[in-house]
Structures are given as C-alpha cells and as structure tokens.
Amino acid sequence: MKSKNLILILCLVFITSGGLLSQEFQYVGSAKCKICHNKPATGQQFKVWSESLHANAMKSLSNEKSLAYAKEHNIADPTKDPSCLKCHSTAGSVKESLQAGITIAEGVSCESCHGPGSAYKTNTIMKDEALALKNGMIKPDQKVCEKCHNKDNPFFKPFNFAEASKKIAHPNPMVKK
C-alpha cells in the first residue's frame, strides 16, 4: 500500500512539474518596468528606452513613407496590420493570452528584447542576473534584434549589432553579475 501511494505521489509530482516547466511567461508592459528602471541610481533604463526609436516605433507607421508603402501594398492601416505590428509593437507580436499589461501603443517595449517579465519582474529576482535569466529574462543578442532588423523589413538598412547596441545601451549598475 505504501509503495502504491509513493508511486502515485511521484506521478503527480512529475505531471505537475512538467506543467510548471511548460508555463508561458506573460508580458507585463513597460509601466511595470518603469517602477524600478527609471531611477538615476539604477541607470534610468526606462528614460533611455522612452526616448528611443523603439518606444516610438508605432509613430513611425504613420509617417509619409510608411503610409505610402501601406497604400502601395493594400494595407488599410499599418497601425493595425499584423504584418507591421509584429515588429513595431511587442504586444502586436505575442498571443493575446500572454498580454498581461502590455499595450500596442508601447511600441517595441522592454520585453521585445528582454522577454516577458511576469516571472522575473520582482526586485529580489532582478538584483541577481542569473536568477532573472533562470526566470525567463533574455540577454538580447544579435539573433533577438534580427527578428525585425532583417531583409524582410521593407525599409531594411544594413544592421550592425555592435553599433546598434551602443545606441540603446542602458546598463543597470545595481545588478549583481
């Protein structure tokens, strides 16, 4: 009897742990990031992002060049078209069920580069890079950037990861490496 109970418990642990490992992280939105990442002592990452082309990516879909491209390619509204949103808005590129606070208007938000923040957003986790990475945070590399900065982009310009990284650098001096 005890061995049957033990087997049953082990099976339940195995089944539930598999479900936890396959859990999809949710996108919490830049407002959650701003709470901690807008202080001078921690590098003002939110300020750096909010003044960037990434934060203003949705606005670029309404400029003359984008509207002309949209008209030429029978896109009624580039600010609502999935083929445009997939690179101009983090929320436009993820399943609706994973959107827990992120909005289309944010443009290319923190979570486009760093991954959905639901499991690493707490201060305790964010202070330890290894723990944050374990909880779904991504350290962006060239591959992450080239999801959008590639030849499929109708306005593609040669992309140099090292140079682009310098333009958007926003280190946090408080993070333990």
Flag whether 81 is in a domain: yes
pLDDT of residue 172: 79
What is the CATH number for 102?
A: 1.10.1130.10
Flag whether 16 is in a domain: no
pLDDT of residue 2: 58
Collapsing DSSP to helix, strand or coil, 117 comes out as coil
Q: Following DSSP, what letter does each residue of 71-82 receive, concatenated?
A: HHTT-S-TTT-H
pLDDT of residue 23: 60
pLDDT of residue 1: 55
Residues 6 or more apart whose Cβ sits within 8 Å of residue 120? 126, 131, 132, 135, 136, 137
pLDDT of residue 7: 47
Give the residue among 94, 101, 139 at the shortest CA–CA distance from 118.
Answer: 101
pLDDT of residue 38: 92
Residues of the chain with pLDDT under 50: 5-22
Flag whether 36 is in a domain: yes
Instruction: Give the chain's domain count.
Output: 1
Give the residue among 160, 130, 166 at the shortest CA–CA distance from 142.
Answer: 160
Q: Tokens representing 67?
A: 């509207």
Range of the domain at 153: 25-167
